[in-house]
Amino acid sequence: MSEVLRPLTARSVVLSTLLGAHPPRLPARSLVRVGQLFDIAEGTIRVALSRMVAAGDLTQVDGDYQLTDRLRHRQSRQDSSRAPSTRRWRGTWEIAVVTAARRPAADRTAFRQTMTELRLAELREGTWLRPDNLVRPRPAPVAEQCTFLTGRPESDDLAATLWDLPGWAVRARSLHEALDRADDLATSFTVSAAVLRHFLADPLLPDELLPADWPGARLRERYEKFDASFQAMLRAHLGIP
Which residues, 6+ apart, have CB-to-CB distance to 236 below 8 Å?
none
For residue 180, count other CB atoms closer than 10 A to its CB. 11
pLDDT digits (tens, 9 = 90+) for 134-155: 999 888 888 889 999 999 998 8
pLDDT digits (tens, 9 = 90+) for 195-204: 999 999 999 9
Residues 138, 118: Cα–Cα separation, whole Å: 8
171 and 229 part of one domain: yes
Residues 130, 64: Cα–Cα separation, whole Å: 41
167 and 140 part of one domain: no
Look at residue 120 in the predicted model and tell me its pLDDT. 97
174 and 227 part of one domain: yes
Query: Inter-axis angle of helices 10-19 and 69-82, to 10 degrees?
Result: 60
- pLDDT tops 90 at residue 241: no
pLDDT digits (tens, 9 = 90+) for 175-193: 999 999 998 888 999 999 9
170 and 144 part of one domain: no
Which of 113, 129, 151 is the last residue before a domain boundary? 151
Residues 175, 71: Cα–Cα separation, whole Å: 24
21 and 69 part of one domain: yes
The mean per-residue pLDDT over the stretch 3-10 comes to 71
Look at residue 140 in the predicted model and tell me its pLDDT. 86
54 and 114 part of one domain: no
Residue 68 banded pLDDT, cuts 50, 70, 90: very high
Look at residue 166 in the predicted model and tell me its pLDDT. 96
Task: Report the mean per-residue pLDDT for the chain.
Answer: 92
174 and 233 part of one domain: yes
For residue 120, count other CB atoms closer than 10 A to its CB. 22
Reduced to 3 states (helix: H, G, I; strand: E, B; else coil), residue 64 is strand
Where residue 50 sits, what CATH number does that domain have?
1.10.10.10
Q: What is the DSSP string of 29-50?
A: HHHHHHHHTTT--HHHHHHHHH
- pLDDT tops 80 at residue 18: yes
Which of 117, 151, 185 is the last residue before a domain boundary? 151
Domain assignment present for 158:
no
Look at residue 104 in the predicted model and tell me its pLDDT. 83
Q: Are 237 and 199 in contact (CB under 8 A)?
A: no
Which of 127, 151, 175 is the last residue before a domain boundary? 151
43 and 69 part of one domain: yes
171 and 233 part of one domain: yes
What domain range includes position 103?
A: 93-151
178 and 123 part of one domain: no
Domain assignment present for 179:
yes
- pLDDT tops 50 at residue 123: yes
Where residue 186 sits, what CATH number does that domain have?
1.20.58.1460
DSSP state of 208: G
Look at residue 106 in the predicted model and tell me its pLDDT. 85
Q: How many domains does the chain have?
A: 3
- pLDDT tops 60 at residue 117: yes
